[in-house]
Amino acid sequence: MPLIGAVADDLTGATTTGVLLARSKARTAVFFNEEAAEKGEGVDELDAILISSNSRALPANEAYEKVKSATCALKRMGVQYFSKRIDTTLRGGVGVEIDAMMDQVGDDCVAVVVPAMPQSRRILVGGYSVIDGVALINTPVAQDVRTPVRENYIPRLLEGQTRRQVKLVTLDKVLQGEEAIRDALKEARDAGGEVIVVDGITIEDVEEIAKACIELKWNVVAVDPGPFTSKLAYYRNLIQEEEPNLPPEADENGKTVLIAAGSATPVTKKQMEVLCQDPRHVRISVDPVKFIEGGDTALDEAFRAVHIAEDLLKSDNPPRAILFETALHGELLNLDEEDNKRHYAGGMSANRINAGLGTIISQLLESCGREKIAGLYTTGGDTMVNVCYQLGVECIEVMDYVIPQTDIGRLVGSYDGLPIVGKGGLTGNDNTACDIVERLFRESARK
């Protein structure tokens, strides 16, 4: 029976937390929704279950209901320890989603919010979020097309979203170690804090915070990007030490990696430019406006890309990787403007673009066969969801990460065992896309 359960606001977030548990010898699966989790085969054999509520861009009331529903499903499956997985850049309705989980977990629970993910250079100092040495509001997240973040002081950000009282434990207490953290947490709770934000700059800080929470014996809802959840599980003796889960080196055997790039960030754009400097890697640009239009226009554009890729895959010398992208060439679309122009509900343009990318991948696998494909690589949580939806996949068993927040797993069900990597749009260095392709070839040979 799974003892650890988490709800994430998107799929890549769920895999990021899940991979930390999987690397610690916990059998872990990520589900696209609570219905898939409750009807999934072999769920009783899992140690940890993560459910994507896909709620980051939803209005507050809808996000609340999604997280509430997922939390109730985890309770029905026997989960005892709950985590609300948050984005490292605090996008979405974090406070509302904390309320939704706490309302279901119990009146005695307290949310301990540890936004730090030091492995990815995401830290919190004095309540202020710093991303790779840059203040959060000065990163590209501030201009995110769907969920921009314009508040850098996290207690204030949460106060605008939750109905619960928010307190802060600052870095000076954290640096003094477990006992000082424990006393500061207790003081914050005695002062009425139900949502307690804690600074942290190193993984050792996160570890000390976890130990202090265990010592207090509170009913803690962990609110974090993954490291705090993992450290709590370790000190509860639910998992082992984290270590890599690397397959051996392998021949590429003429297979091809399929890439669906839904992210439009400068980071992703640069990574794909570096990837395509290798002549073995082919870029196929797709018109996002045609996907947004929908209907036959969208299908015609998808099948145009599919036919180009089919010819490449069936050639005597197939590409090592094929990149399908809609936002890495030409002028970047304002998707809110596209929605307004067509009187669409908010987010429909983005959803249609991602659905189009999913259609391309599913049609290629169907027409050319899995044996030609080494693995799938998606950028952006919504893109990964749509690709898996189009493939009829509802669950991913997570295995490891290439780098933190760039997670590798295997499809369960349709195309069972096919490796897949999901990467957030802001993650990695210039060579990360090349590293992901290399890792997928290794994973494709894993027995």
Q: Is the pLDDT of residue 114 over 80?
A: yes
Question: Which pLDDT score, from 0 to 100, does residue 42 have?
Answer: 86
Annotate 22-48 with b (16+ C-beta within 10 A) or e (fewer). bbbebebbbbbbbebbeebeebeebbb
Q: Is the pLDDT of residue 400 over 90?
A: yes
pLDDT tens for 119-129 read 999 999 999 99
Question: Which pLDDT score, from 0 to 100, does residue 67 have?
Answer: 98
Q: What is the mean pLDDT of residues 31-48?
A: 92
Q: What is the mean pLDDT of the chain?
A: 94
Question: Which pLDDT score, from 0 to 100, does residue 381 have?
Answer: 74
Q: Compute and round to an integer the Cα radius of gyration of the chain.
A: 21
Q: Is the pLDDT of residue 424 over 80?
A: no
pLDDT band at 413 (very low <50, low <70, confident <90, very high): confident
Question: Which pLDDT score, from 0 to 100, does residue 70 have?
Answer: 98
Contacts of 442 (CB under 8 A, 6+ apart): 246, 247, 248, 249, 250
Q: What is the mean pLDDT of residues 206-221?
A: 98
Question: Which pLDDT score, from 0 to 100, does residue 249 have?
Answer: 82
What residue ranges do the domains of the chain occupy?
Answer: 4-235, 256-444
How many other β-carbons are positioned within 10 Å of the β-carbon of residue 75? 15
Q: What is the mean pLDDT of residues 303-314?
A: 97
Q: Is the pLDDT of residue 17 over 90?
A: yes
- Entry pTM: 0.88
Q: CA separation (Å) from 49 to 4, 5, 42, 191?
A: 6, 5, 11, 34
Q: Largest alpha-carbon pair distance within the chain?
A: 70
pLDDT tens for 87-108 read 999 999 999 999 999 999 998 9
Q: CA separation (Å) from 244 to 14, 76, 403?
A: 18, 32, 11
Residue 371, CB-side half-sphere exposure with 13 Å CA sphere? 1
Question: Which pLDDT score, from 0 to 100, does residue 266 have?
Answer: 83
| Cβ proximity of 115 and 131 under 8 Å | no
Q: Is the pLDDT of residue 445 over 90?
A: no
Question: Domain 4-235: which topology?
Answer: Rossmann fold (3.40.50)
What would the CATH number be for the domain defined by 256-444?
3.40.980.20
**pLDDT, greater one: 241 or 333:** 241
